[in-house]
Amino acid sequence: MIRYDMPQGSAEWRLARMGVPTASSFHRIITPKTGKPSQQADAYLHELLAELMLGRPLDSPTYPWMARGSELEEEAGNWYEFERDEETEIVGFCTVDSGLYGASPDRLVGVNGLLELKCPSPAVHVGYLLFPQRGVDAEYRCQVQGQLLVTERLWCDVVSYHPEMPKVIVRVERDEDYIALMREANENFCARLAEGKKELQRRGYLPAAPIPINTETEETHEQPRGEQCA
């Protein structure tokens, strides 16, 4: 695993992920229930290639899904550490050793675990209270198993946190059969991505130099360097 340490959502984080398949979108490569190829794969492939052509991520600097989470994430992480008597470590972005695809787990837990923090609306949180495992499997199977694939860790605790309601922790273990399907699907997708890059280069459309990303508080001009992890 190669680890990049920078704040998630920052300009550096966005550049590190540019043109790279990530666990939050693995459901666009492989279907969560069956493990078959997703019909969204072509569209996802084209989006990643477009990022490389433009030299910048397609996402807006503001991630609506991160607004509430960023406000409550530290509180949720502190609650988890107290509840489970665990120490956690914030991480930015991780890739497999080849660098072909990656993931952004919210935290590392000890030497074997991950932590994924969700801070949903009250109604969605009630769904996790009623059907915790079913909700996680339906919504986050690809993301969580993808994180375990990338980081080579054994389990991930998914927390649904609402400050005014009982909290939910769902332990998700590695599903080796599904991870094997995901690894094969990702490698096939990355091979297609490499072919697309080569064809765009042949036509003179690539490479495009990454352009600076400016926000109100951040500015970056190059991708951060990663650290190889054992």
Sorted by sequence, the CB contacts under 8 Å of residue 223 that are 6+ apart come out as: 12, 15, 16, 18, 210
CA distances to 50, 58, 75, 195 from 18, rounded to whole Å, are 10, 8, 29, 17
Q: Is the peptide bond before 37 cis (omega within 30 degrees of 0)?
A: no
**Architecture category of domain 2-228 in CATH:** Alpha-Beta Complex (3.90)
Give per-residue pLDDT as tens, 24-67: 999 999 999 889 999 999 999 999 999 999 989 987 554 444 55
Domain coordinates in residue numbering, the chain? 2-228
Give per-residue pLDDT as tens, 85-100: 999 999 999 999 999 9
Tokens found for residue 216: 């109100």
β-strand pairing of 93-95 with 102-103: antiparallel
**pTM beyond 0.85:** yes
